[in-house]
Amino acid sequence: MKRSTVLTAIAGLVLAGPGVARAAQVTHSDEEWRKLLPAESYEVLRHAGTERPFSSPLDDEKRPGTYACGACNLPLFSSKTKYDSGSGWPSFWAPLPNAVVTKSDTSLLMVRDEVRCRRCDSHLGHVFDDGPKPTGLRYCMNGVALRFRPGRAA
């Protein structure tokens, strides 16, 4: 085997760690996601991008309703747990049951807990421990990763 082939094989093994190997229930190729989603949502959901703070209309959204995954429509957050964190991103102190998964993210030289959709494994944002009661958590979400459905809060 050529040296470059060996290195590629090793990189493949490292990338297919436990987090990546977890099977998503809604799957598309990267190319399919790119066609399915608006450009800014695709960048955040599928490539862990971050929208500019105070850029999302959902940051100021105060109506009752449900926030669903921008990629697969799974309901993720209720308006009942939304609060104004002042961060410029839509913030919640708890997700809906069985809606999201978290994993350690060491990019940007920080250890943060990344929040992903449980069903399609899309990136949503991060969770921090400086939120309000009762959980003390702050789910800091990208508005473009969510779809708001006004109505009765879940």
Interaction of residue 71 with Zn ion, rule CB under 5 A: yes
Name the segment binding Zn ion (CB under 5 A); options: 56-64, 81-89, 121-129, 133-141. Answer: 121-129
- Sole residue written with tokens 């998503």: 24
Greatest extent of the chain over all pairs of C-alpha atoms, in Å: 60
Torsion of CA 19, 22, 24, 28, to 10 degrees: 70
140 given a catalytic annotation: yes
Torsion of CA 79, 154, 39, 28, to 10 degrees: 150
Interaction of residue 117 with Zn ion, rule CB under 5 A: yes
Residue number with CB closer to Zn ion (88 or 94) = 94
Residue number with CB closer to Zn ion (46 or 138) = 46
- We find the least distance from the C-beta atom of residue 26 to Zn ion, in angstroms, to be 6
What's the token pair of residue 38? 């608006």
Q: Compute how many other C-beta atoms are within 10 angstroms of the C-beta atom of residue 64.
A: 13
* Cα separations in angstroms, 3 against 11, 15, 103: 12, 18, 32
Name the segment binding Zn ion (CB under 5 A); options: 4-12, 69-77, 79-87, 98-106. Answer: 69-77
Q: Which of 72, 117, 120, 140 is catalytic?
A: 140
> Which residue in 37, 44, 72, 99 binds Zn ion (CB under 5 A)?
72
Name the segment binding Zn ion (CB under 5 A); options: 52-60, 64-72, 124-132, 140-148. Answer: 64-72
Rounded CA separation 126/143 (Å): 12
The site for Zn ion (CB under 5 A) is made up of 69, 71-72, 74, 117, 119-120, 122
Residues with catalytic function: 140
